[in-house]
Amino acid sequence: MEQQFERFIQERTYLKNVSPRTVEWYRESFKWLDNPRPTQSLLIDLVIRMRKAGLKATSCNNRIRAINAYLHWHADAGKGVKCGPGCQHLRVTRLKEPQTMMPVYKMDDIARVMSFKPVKWYDRRLKVLLLTLADVGARIDEALSLTFGDVDFDNLLLTLHGKGSRDRKIPFSLELRRHLWKWQQEHKHKLVFPTRDGEKWSHRNCHRDVRRFCVRLGIHTPERLLHSFRHTMASNYIRRGGSVAMLQRVLGHSTLTMTMKYVHVQTEDLSKNHERISLLGG
């Protein structure tokens, strides 16, 4: 990889403390950027190549975010100024994304997980993991990195280690406390959701095991298998009257705009709410 790209990644790693997954995201994105000093014409060609390769607008924008971060870093030349509307450096225009509904699980699906009676250790681990994701809306890596030292059983608070080494405390339910406490008695490892040997459960193996578990329970899995538990928690939080500002803190988003992208209200919910507040309603 070009020296300039490596320098950018090193600074992000050692100065910004980005995660290994973020580093991998940068590397995969930079494969589309042939020249570390591109022209506007080359940036347009980059987008065309991605589209010809079959990438959807969402996937293109994911890579464009990384490339624009590099372009700002390269133009800033160490000044440390945050990228904003006033920046004059080259940038790739993001594509318009189709407005699709966030994939979520049905309440019947969550009920199936809750009513499941595990016998084996592996099944108990899966059940408690899915209940945790559904209850607090954690990212999967936040859940897999969780230790019992991060669980405040008395005050019903979890300390999650989020993106950019930003920790946050979020509440969890009495019902989840019951499951977490019983699960703690099953093993003496530091991690809440470890392998049998106490090591961190890999994202790939977790994804595989959750998919198999859902098939066993007859649960229809959305496209984003694990992240959809986060969407489900967020949408139901709003549907039941929760504050968007508080949801932002729970999800660990840096801006409210990011939170609004996660929150969607079903058409029938909008209709019911309008009927209740309409001046013409009975």
Least confident of 50-64, 168-182, 243-257: 243-257
Task: Give the closest residue to 229 by CA, choosing from 126, 146, 151.
Answer: 126
Task: Render pLDDT for 145-169 as a digit per residue (tens, 0 to 9).
Answer: 999 999 999 999 999 988 767 889 9
Residues 133 and 241 in one domain: yes
Residue 200 lies in a domain: yes
Quote the pTM value.
0.71
Residues 111 and 70 in one domain: no
Residues 115 and 208 in one domain: yes
Residue 145 lies in a domain: yes
Residues 139 and 61 in one domain: no
Task: Render pLDDT for 135-149 as a digit per residue (tens, 0 to 9).
Answer: 999 999 999 999 999
Helices (H), the chain: 3-14, 20-30, 40-52, 57-76, 107-115, 121-136, 140-144, 174-184, 203-217, 227-239, 244-251, 256-262, 267-277
Give the residue from 76, 96, 119 where a domain finishes: 76
Q: Is the dihedral of CA 20, 49, 62, 239 positive or negative?
A: negative
**Euclidean distance between CA atoms 253 and 133, whole angstroms:** 16
Q: Which two tokens stand for residue 145?
A: 């990195």
- The answer for residues whose C-beta is within 8 angstroms of residue 120's C-beta and 6 or more apart is none
Residues 207 and 67 in one domain: no
Compute the average pLDDT of residues 227-248.
Answer: 86
Work out the burial of residue 196: count CB atoms within 10 Å of its CB; fewer than 13 is exposed, 13-18 middle, 19 or more buried: exposed
Residue 96 lies in a domain: no
The DSSP bridge partners found for residue 151 are: 158
Residue 127 lies in a domain: yes
Task: Render pLDDT for 15-52 as a digit per residue (tens, 0 to 9).
Answer: 888 888 889 999 999 999 988 999 999 999 999 999 99
Amino acid letter for position 161: H
Residues 15 and 132 in one domain: no
Residues 152 and 251 in one domain: yes
| pLDDT at residue 75 in the model | 86
What is the domain count for the chain? 2
Residues 119 and 226 in one domain: yes
Residue 206 lies in a domain: yes
Residues 158 and 253 in one domain: yes
Residue 40 lies in a domain: yes
CATH code, domain carrying 118: 1.10.443.10
The DSSP bridge partners found for residue 168 are: 160
Residues 188 and 259 in one domain: yes
Residues 119 and 48 in one domain: no
**Euclidean distance between CA atoms 147 and 239, whole angstroms:** 31
Angle at 177 between CA 186 and CA 171, to 5 degrees: 135
Give the residue from 60, 76, 92 where a domain finishes: 76
Residue 146 lies in a domain: yes
| pLDDT at residue 154 in the model | 96
Task: Give the closest residue to 30 by CA, choosing from 60, 67, 83.
Answer: 67
Residues 197 and 119 in one domain: yes
Residue 254 lies in a domain: yes
| pLDDT at residue 78 in the model | 52
What residue numbers bound the domain in which 30 lies? 3-76
